[in-house]
Amino acid sequence: MSLLPLEFETDAPADAIQAPIIVLEKVGKRFLTKAGEYEAFADFDLTIREGEFVCLLGPSGCGKTSLLRILAGLDSHNSGVLRIREPKGDKPFMSVVFQENSIFPWLSVRDNVAYGLRSRQAASAMVDQRVDQLLETVGLTGFQRLYPHQLSGGMKQRVSIARAFANDPQLLLMDEPFSALDEQNRSLLQEELLRIWSLSGKTVLFITHSIDEALFLGDRVVVMGGRPGHVMADISVPFPRPRQQYALKASPAYGALVAEVAELIRLAMQVSRA
């Protein structure tokens, strides 16, 4: 089964109600710290449907990363109900792209991208084919024998993205993957990400604290804020795809939406500070 179809699928499944693949109902997370109990987030409701690109937007410290870790299986929630749709066969439920550099320094680009697949003991011919495809999609074919210490920050994140996609998961979790990059690289990678996403048909939950990034990338923007963190708004992004950075920013509708979301974030931060 080819991960990336050769034809570009142009129409978004706008009207069809896709099946949910992850449902959170009143989910909460608390930590025990030296200062006592700390509630990261509470009463969190969220449904993500197949094929959606959902951006989780919120200020620092609102619990976004804790939430992602729970969805990634690295932590557990303490209250509420979390339901996921088990993937068929050998496919993993999710893959993560982390904020910091997370690719293994001791493996080449190629071996890094293949890591998840090789761990599942996938057939080596299939692994090679998929790795080749992904390297080409992220534009790293010529660099596949290099090691991370020879790459720039942007290239390392591309490897991280390729590795996550290579694993063919049901859900892609991305934790501010571009926040450590300079603005030019950031714009470039956002566009590349959208391109890979549209070719692959995967579901993405993308965490960010940048309003521009959330509105450019997402079908939906879930605004999270307050202390403890909770859903403040769930906004449907009306702009049609494929989206262009500069055209989008020039449209008045975009400006209005940014203002609305910015106000929400400001409110969220005020509550946090209280």
Q: 58, 148, 225, 229: which one contacts another protein (CB under 8 A)? A: 148
Is residue 203 within the footprint of another protein (CB under 8 A)?
no
Instruction: Tell the smallest beta-carbon distance from residue 141 to another protein (Å).
Output: 21
Is residue 167 within the footprint of another protein (CB under 8 A)?
yes
Please answer whether residues 119 and 81 qualify as being in contact, where contact means their C-beta atoms are separated by less than 8 angstroms. Answer: no
Is residue 102 within the footprint of another protein (CB under 8 A)?
yes
Q: Considering the complex, state which of residue 147 and residue 239 has its C-beta at the smaller distance from another protein.
A: 147
Q: How many CB atoms lie within 10 A of CB 154?
A: 17
Is residue 100 within the footprint of another protein (CB under 8 A)?
yes
Burial class of 119 by CB neighbour count within 10 A (0 to 12, 13 to 18, 19+): exposed
DSSP summary character for residue 62: S
Q: How many CB atoms lie within 10 A of CB 212?
A: 17
Q: Considering the complex, state which of residue 46 and residue 117 has its C-beta at the smaller distance from another protein.
A: 117
Cα 165 to Cα 11: distance, rounded to the nearest angstrom:
21
Of 24-32, 101-109, 123-131, 203-211, the segment contacting another protein by CB under 8 A is 101-109
Q: How many CB atoms lie within 10 A of CB 27?
A: 22
By CB under 8 A, what part of segment 51-90 binds another protein? 72-74
Residues that bind another protein (CB under 8 A): 72-74, 92, 94-96, 98, 100-102, 104-107, 115-116, 119, 147-150, 167
